[in-house]
Amino acid sequence: MNDLYARHRGVLPDWLALYYDEPIEITHGEGRHVWDADGNRYLDFFGGILTTMTAHALPEVTKAVGEQAGRIIHSSTLYLNRPMVELAERIAQVSGIPDARVFFTTSGTEANDTALLLATTYRRSNTVLAMRNSYHGRSFSAVGITGNRGWSPTSLSPLQTLYVHGGVRTRGPYAHLDDATFVEACVEDLTDLLGHTRRPAALIAEPIQGVGGFTSPPDGLYAAFRDVLDDRGVLWISDEVQTGWGRTGDHFWGWQAHSRSGPPDIVTFAKGIGNGMSIGGVIARAEIMNCLDANSISTFGGTQITMAAGLANLTYLLEHDLQGNARRVGGLLIERLRAVAAQVPAVREVRGRGLMIGVELARPGTDEADPRAASAVLEAARSGGLLIGKGGGHNTSALRIAPPLSLTVAEAEEGAAILERALRSIQ
């Protein structure tokens, strides 16, 4: 493994981060477990950054991929593509967006790029509203709207970005307010901000901030924002790259926690829909999707093999009610972790919904973020046989827990026990 690590360092960028003091090579997986090159078995509570959504080596998906690979893998969007049309039909149906059109990309970054292109073209404005502590990808335009300093390496951007309060409930100037007053204060801030700028094209927001540490506003915030935005002709883009497909348990899409005014104008998605295959995309009503007046294609977006995987994966998820499983098992896991947190002074907050759970660490007795503690827990969990993630806008001091949605109650309890030992080890 040391040889592979040395080779990695020799040919890949220094900024391509690896987890763990002694990085691991994952060689294979099954269900909710993976194995490394040394034969160690781990319970996977991160799923390749929320991407292995249903299970590792899910037979229905591997069979669909194998059968499609035996026919044709790729032809580009210049030709009719039956799997792409079929998956687009399914996604349009479950999107909630009227007269929906779907465009496939290869990643969430590219999906958000496309959404920004559509919104700025449709509204003839290069001003965009984004949330503080947000993350929307690693391309030049996506970095330009990312509100998390740790993931934004340049201030240069083709867009003018204005950042709005509200994505983080328990930090910032409004943290002390109750939920209703918090929402009111954020709406007032947005209204004031709009009074000092030309009309933005759109607000882009994650219903639950992923890289930001699984933080979220009170339910209804974006509906309240929508009332203000609609009055001014500003579009709402919901970045569902991490929250889509039932992961939050209570809803199929994260935006549905803010749904009194209907669906967003644009939804972006990626990660879990492919269960590890490279699928991203954009959903928008036809008048927005069709606003481009120049040619555009995607060489690899919607390629047959990824669409076959996506179709099989989405079918499995819906037929086995994995959203309901995320709600039930995720609810038990959150309560179990909150009980542990009550006895561990380093835990500032356990938050999230469904199987999207954040555990924020701080120096005991303070609100000061403790990234060293987060790294120590990450290492201890790995030593105990559990893989988790990190994130947060405060020096990556939040643990990110996002297992495949087929997680069983027994596996949730096993993972919680390992994490409890890891948390207690840092006291």
Pair type for strands 127-131 and 160-164 = parallel
Query: The pTM is what?
Result: 0.96
Q: Are residues 199 and 237 in the same domain?
A: yes
pLDDT for the residue numbered 379 = 98
Q: How confident is the model at residue 1 (pLDDT cuts 50, 70, 90)?
A: low
Q: Tens of pLDDT along 195-217?
A: 999 999 999 999 999 999 999 99
Q: Are residues 121 and 159 located together in one domain of the fold?
A: yes
The residue that leads in pLDDT, 43 or 261, is 43
Q: Which of 31-35, 142-146, 315-319, 328-332 has the lowest mean pLDDT?
A: 142-146
| Strands 386-387 and 160-164, bridge-based pairing | unpaired
Please indicate, yes or no, whether residues 158 and 210 belong to a single structural domain of this protein: yes
- Whether residue 189 is found in the same domain as residue 289: yes
CA 138, CA 134: separation in Å to the nearest integer?
12
User: Which segments of 176-279 are extended strands (E)?
Assistant: 202-205, 235-239, 266-269
Same domain for 131 and 201, yes or no, is: yes
Mean pLDDT value of segment 240-257: 97
| DSSP per-residue string spanning 390-425 | EE-TTTS-EEEE---TT--HHHHHHHHHHHHHHHHT
Question: How far apart are the C-alpha atoms of 301 and 281, rounded to whole Å?
Answer: 8
| CATH code of residue 13 | 3.90.1150.10
Do 283 and 337 belong together in one domain? no
**Confidence class of residue 394 from pLDDT cuts 50, 70 and 90?**
low
Q: Which of 319, 354, 378 is the last residue of a domain?
A: 319
- Our CA angle for 105, 110, 116, nearest 5°, is 115
Provide the number of structural domains found in the chain: 2
Same-domain pairing of 50 and 103:
no
More confident residue, 2 or 249: 249
Confidence at residue 150, expressed as pLDDT on a 0 to 100 scale: 85
DSSP 7: H
Q: What is the dihedral of CA 360, 364, 366, 367, to 10 degrees?
A: -10
pLDDT band at 81 (very low <50, low <70, confident <90, very high): very high
State the virtual CA torsion across 98, 271, 171, 145 in degrees, nearest 10.
-70
Domain ends where: 267, 284, 319? 319
* Distance separating alpha carbons of residues 35 and 29, to the nearest angstrom: 6
> Which amino acid makes up residue 43?
L
Instruction: Average the pLDDT over 90-100 and give the result.
Output: 97
Q: Quick: pLDDT tens for 274-301.
A: 999 999 999 999 999 999 999 999 999 9
Distance, in Å, from the CA atom of 422 to the CA atom of 384, rounded to the nearest integer, reads: 8
Degrees (nearest 5) of the Cα angle 278, 398, 173?
110
CA atoms within 13 A on the CB side of 379: 12
376-to-22, 74, 357, 361 alpha-carbon distances in Å? 13, 44, 18, 11
Tell me, yes or no, whether 378 and 260 share the same domain: no
Residue 177: which CATH number? 3.40.640.10
pLDDT digit string, tens, across residues 12-48: 999 998 999 999 999 999 999 999 999 999 999 999 9
What are the residues facing 100 on neighbouring strands?
285
Structural domain boundaries enclosing 416: 2-57+322-424
Same domain, 314 and 183: yes
Query: Considering the chain, what is the average pLDDT of its residues?
Result: 96
Q: Last residue of some domain: 294, 319, 344? A: 319
